[in-house]
């Protein structure tokens, strides 16, 4: 499984200009520094939301949360992508591991193209076709916002090409860099190997806790009459360790396998139209993503690692292996809580064992303090090293936990905090409803329904009732309504109107 979009689809580098949609909107993968006046953004969003103030600026008015998760066919054949006519399969082989997509179709059946390459497909996949050329031998295919011409595989052709897909699994046509387990039933993020490494570290840590630290503590409590060791119940330590260990694994895997709030891309040569009557640009405006070919909502971001846009994007966590966003943030926070408790508990137990060893070790009268400490360490080498490691982990994890507690209280995301979106009062945070309501929303608000199929192993049966038509670029060019004004409320740092995208 590839870890970056570039490995899946590498675009040509012969153009220095930023991609633009049919309306002249430049694609902007990075968030701008433009600020949207909070009162104006609230008014505009309120007008669209039946004249009422929007409770949360993260509400996506272009890609609303469905009442139920879509089927595979609803995901790949939907009204947002009406130009799809067929789906074609490219099967990578050792002889032809990649295939080029061209700016123009070939002529006269020639396999040698002079028009230039728009990109390279670097793995087996299923892609939508939007029409053919005049000869019918070439098809226009898309991966997100990137399109190009590809040649059909002819019956006598031995090298790789595109064949018609009568049916395909949801994972085959997925453009994200995710890893799939159990034949597609489980979807992990792009850094799935890191997830398994995290599990390995946790297993080693818990093994040392239950096989070494707790038995040593129990032995001390039984043998030493000093009352200081009887203030701590080993039974409580044991069952607390069991509880937080189980909860840590549960929350880790729930976070890893749950859809973080992915907004499905639109694979089409027709660029997404400008959403009129919505704020465009800035932290509280809709921004065009050229990779996914959508206008992503406020507070969302395109993850370059997973190659998808995520609603209320917080960050991409390599330890969990996936993005942290709207749907899995609360479970990530609970994972942090439990792993922090475990590291603190292990560190305290290790420190107590070291204290007992330090006080009980036999030393000569001329032994120095450092010599005394070293002799105590030599008695419990593994526990001391393990306790030192968990001490460093506890310091880092508790700091991270406090940071997330702070941004929850302020109704911000890590991405917004790092970028300083609301720093120095430059912009009002419309999501901030007060500390208690922010915590209530973060943990008590129902988890939004996923925009993806529940089971990505499901198959889409393709019943192509109509004949393929020739692609007419002029007929599919986006047409703007001249009477519909485009709302752009972005401001530059000086408060002047920013240039329209």
pLDDT band at 490; cut points 50, 70, 90: very low
Ranked by mean pLDDT, the top range of 16-30, 120-134, 487-501 is: 120-134
Least confident of 67-81, 155-169, 318-332: 155-169
Q: Is the pLDDT of residue 132 over 80?
A: yes
**Which stretch of 205-214, 368-377, 469-478 has the lowest confidence by average pLDDT?**
469-478
CB 372 within 8 A of CB 401: no
Contacts of range 385-393, beta carbons closer than 8 Å, 24 or more positions apart? 386/205, 386/208, 386/212, 386/213, 386/346, 386/350, 387/213, 387/346, 387/347, 387/349, 387/350, 387/351, 387/353, 387/354, 390/205, 390/343, 390/346, 390/347, 390/350, 391/343, 391/347, 391/350, 393/343
**pLDDT of 4 above 70:** no
Mean pLDDT of 109-130: 78
Of the candidates 474, 467, 469, 466, the residue with the CA atom closest to the CA atom of residue 133:
469
pLDDT per position as a tens digit, 375-427? 888 888 999 999 999 999 999 999 999 999 999 999 999 999 998 888 866 78
As a whole number, the mean pLDDT across the chain is: 80
Reported confidence tier of residue 492, pLDDT bands at 50, 70, 90:
very low
Q: What tokens were used for 337? A: 């809580």
197-238: per-residue pLDDT in tens? 999 999 999 999 999 999 998 888 777 666 555 566 788 889
Which sign does the torsion angle of CA 102, 105, 108, 109 carry? positive
Taking only the tens place, the pLDDT of each residue in 301-335 is: 999 999 999 999 999 999 999 999 999 999 999 99
- Name the residue with higher pLDDT: 258 or 103: 258
> Which pLDDT tens digit goes with each residue over 229-267?
556 678 888 999 999 999 999 999 999 999 999 999 999
Cα Rg of the chain, angstroms? 28
Kindly tell me if the per-residue pLDDT of 446 is higher than 80: yes
pTM: 0.81
295 beta partners: 288
Distances (CA, A) of 260 to 246, 264, 392, 432: 22, 12, 29, 21
Q: How far apart are CA 34 and CA 286, in angstroms?
A: 12
Give the model's pLDDT for residue 112.
53
């Amino acid at each position: 499984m590839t870890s970056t979009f570039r490995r899946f689809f590498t675009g040509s580098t012969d153009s220095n200009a930023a991609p633009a949609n049919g309306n002249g909107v430049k694609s902007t993968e990075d968030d701008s520094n433009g600020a949207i006046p909070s009162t104006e953004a609230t008014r505009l969003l309120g007008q669209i939301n039946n004249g009422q103030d929007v409770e949360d600026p993260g509400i996506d008015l272009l890609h609303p949360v469905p009442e139920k998760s879509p089927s595979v066919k609803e995901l790949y054949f939907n009204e947002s992508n009406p130009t799809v006519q067929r789906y074609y399969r490219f099967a990578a082989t050792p002889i032809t591991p990649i295939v080029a997509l061209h700016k123009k179709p070939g002529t006269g059946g020639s396999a040698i193209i002079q028009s230039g390459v728009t990109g390279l497909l670097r793995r087996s996949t299923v892609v939508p076709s939007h029409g053919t050329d005049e000869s019918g031998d070439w098809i226009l295919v898309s991966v997100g916002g990137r399109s190009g011409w590809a040649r059909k595989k002819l019956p006598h052709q031995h090298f790789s090409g595109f064949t018609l897909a009568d049916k395909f699994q949801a994972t085959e046509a997925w453009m994200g860099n995710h890893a799939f387990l159990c034949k597609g039933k489980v979807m992990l993020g792009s850094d799935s190997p890191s997830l398994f490494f995290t599990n390995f570290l946790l297993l080693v840590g818990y093994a040392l806790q239950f096989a070494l630290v707790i038995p040593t503590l129990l032995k001390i409590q039984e043998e030493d009459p000093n009352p200081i060791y009887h203030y701590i119940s080993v039974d409580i330590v044991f069952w607390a360790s069991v509880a937080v260990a189980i909860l840590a694994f549960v929350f880790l895997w729930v976070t890893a396998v749950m859809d973080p709030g992915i907004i499905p891309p639109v694979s089409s040569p027709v660029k997404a139209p400008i959403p009129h009557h919505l704020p465009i640009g800035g932290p509280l405006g809709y921004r065009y993503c050229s990779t996914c070919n959508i206008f992503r909502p406020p507070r969302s971001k395109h993850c370059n690692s997973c190659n998808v846009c995520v609603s209320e994007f917080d960050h991409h966590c390599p330890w969990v292996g996936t993005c942290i966003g709207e749907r899995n943030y609360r479970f990530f926070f609970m994972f942090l809580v439990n792993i922090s408790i475990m590291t603190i508990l292990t560190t305290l137990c290790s420190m107590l064992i070291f204290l007992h060893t330090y006080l009980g070790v036999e030393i000569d009268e001329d032994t120095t303090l450092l010599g005394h400490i070293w002799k105590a360490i030599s008695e419990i080498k593994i526990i001391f090293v393990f306790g030192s490691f968990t001490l460093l982990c506890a310091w880092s994890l508790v700091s991270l936990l406090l940071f997330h507690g702070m941004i929850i209280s302020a109704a911000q995301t890590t991405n917004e905090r790092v970028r300083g979106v609301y720093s120095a009062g430059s912009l009002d945070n419309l999501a901030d409803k007060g500390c208690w309501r922010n915590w209530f929303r973060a943990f008590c608000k129902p988890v939004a329904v996923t925009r993806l199929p529940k089971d990505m192993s499901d198959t889409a049966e393709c019943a192509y009732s109509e004949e393929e038509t020739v692609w007419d670029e002029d007929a599919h060019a986006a047409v703007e309504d001249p009477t519909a004004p485009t709302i752009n409320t972005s401001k530059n740092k000086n408060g002047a109107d920013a240039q329209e995208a």
